[in-house]
Chains A and B, each alone.
Chain A
Amino acid sequence: MIEFKDVSKTFSLGKRDVHAVKNVSLSISKGEIFGIIGFSGAGKSTLLRLVNMLERPTSGTIFIQDIDVSKLSSKDLRTRRRNIGMIFQNFNLFNSRTVAGNIAYPLKLAGTPKREINKRVKELLNFVGLADKEKDFPDQLSGGQKQRVGIARALATSPDILICDEATSALDPDTTADILKLLKKVNRDLGITILLITHEMHVIQSICDKVAVMEDGEVIEDGNVFETFTDPQHETTQRFIHSVQSDLPSKQILKEWRSSGGGKLYRVIFKGDATNDPVLSTITKKHDVDFNIVYGAVRELQEKLFGNLIVSFTGDASAVQNVLNELNTIVELEEVIENEG
């Protein structure tokens, strides 16, 4: 659907060259929700704008539905853009137009007859749940409502692709959840491929199928969200994951645990099927060892469960060792070292 092949973008700021995007190759399949995460300045915003050619690549090619968009003329490009909806962090609604006027705008550009425009606007307003706001102006709406109008406007010309530029970053947590739900609905019900950029891991966690992590203009890690979350390879990826799910209690708590004579701590990681069985309880019972869950959580990710528990075991030393050996065959297990956390 969208294919970046060795794409770079360099801006020259006076005498200095800024390499916003460096040698990025990515492939986004039809029907996916693909998230690009990175701290600000990582180049994700530029990468997103390369999709609809608001930025032109310095080198490399971008294929959208097998068409090399970097080679299109301005006129062809404008027609292509109707197939790529875009929503923004600050909504970017036209303040001089009503809600209906905003949604009608891309249809007018496409030369849609007036009767059809009115019908389509009503349809879209119903889809985003704003049927009663047709005649309101953007400044009369809340942030969440504005983004709903933004989404309706982006979907007006029935695009195959929706690109989202930090679409929930200006919203409060409840509204963010609503908008993410709506985006999921756009993806599921309309079959629209979504490419989004964000600096919030929970956005990736809640709706994305695939994720790419960007740093300094490069994609440093990409793949399935479940695998990337449960087995992050890169330090930056780990930092993002810790932003939504801390896998260790604070240093202070660990210090107190150790100074009060608490035993060794182990991190036990359950993925998928392993979460269905009472693994810890069965194995410790068998070896007559007690276990104590000091910290941890079991979370849902892409409709699979993922558990991360910090556990201590008490009992005969060799029995504990047997427990550890046996656990290690079923789940991931590692000792929490002294200065971790």
Chain B
Amino acid sequence: MKVDWTTFWPRIVEATGETLTMVIATLIFGSIIGISFGLLLFVTRENNILENKLLFQILNVFINIIRPIPFIIFMVAISELTRLVVGTTIGTVAAIFPMTIVASFTIARVVENNLVSIDPGVIEAAQAMGASPLRIIFTILIPEALGPLILGLTFVSVSLIDFSAVAGTVGGGGLGHIAMTYGYQRFDGSVMLVTVIILIVMVQLAQWIGNTLSKKIMRR
């Protein structure tokens, strides 16, 4: 049975809203946690401004454990934890929880990689001027890495759109859910086409925003 497009549009709009909510909320929470972890990972490295082998190893191992797990498996595997924290495993809010965890660790790695590319001499110069470690983090590390960092976050948000679709197939709602239910299970090509087009537009838009912002920050 094909859908009736005159009544189905509101459903599409609603699903698009759900997808956007999942992606944006995850990006916000994931960035807060991920940037903190990434900074922590960087400054606790050997010979860095707050060297701490234990903390570095713990963070490093955690990231290495979580990142290789395929998202769909991870989401199902931690569903009990999700229920404990969110109260349910179904719906948009429930999807945001596992998405945030995965995004946090991915962003942590992206942040760390961008920070590593900062010339250590620049940090040394700030130290030589008498800057404290915290001061260096906020006035040197973040501003110096901001351009590439935004590109990294853009890359993460594009994969979050992908994650949100995966989450949709296992009860998360959003465009993924629509595409699976109507497009895949009911063989309605038109629904599939519309959701795919919306997803493409979203990715393009995210990439455009990221590129523009980072270009503005890097000036050239």
List the interface of chain A (C-beta within 8 A of B): 52, 54, 77-82, 84, 86, 88, 90, 92-97, 105-106, 108-110, 137, 139, 153, 157
Contact = CB atoms under 8 A, between A and B. Distances in A.
A109 B130 contact: yes
Interface of B: 119, 121-122, 124-132, 135, 139-140, 143-144, 146, 219-220
Nearest to A110: B130
Contacts of A157: 129
A181 B75 CA distance: 65
B128 A81 contact: yes
Contact of B219 (A106, A108, A110, A137): A137
A109 B124 contact: no
Contact of B135 (A90, A95, A97, A109): A109
Main secondary structure of the interface of B (DSSP, over half): helix
Contact of B131 (A52, A54, A78, A153): A78
Given A92-B121, A96-B143, A78 B128 contact: no
B143 A82 contact: no
Contacts of A52: 128
Given A52-B128, A92-B121, 10 more contacts: A78-B131, A82-B129, A82-B130, A88-B121, A88-B124, A90-B121, A92-B119, A93-B122, A105-B126, A109-B129
Contacts of A77: 130
Contacts of B135: 109
Contacts of A110: 130
8 contacts: A78-B132, A81-B127, A82-B130, A86-B125, A92-B119, A93-B125, A95-B122, A95-B144
A90 B128 contact: no
Contacts of B144: 94-96
A108 B131 CA distance: 10
Contact of A78 (B125, B130, B140): B130
B60 to A, nearest CB: 20
Contacts of A93: 122, 125
A94 B130 contact: no
Contacts of B146: 96
A41 B131 CA distance: 28
4 A-B pairs closest in CB distance: A81-B130, A78-B130, A92-B125, A96-B143
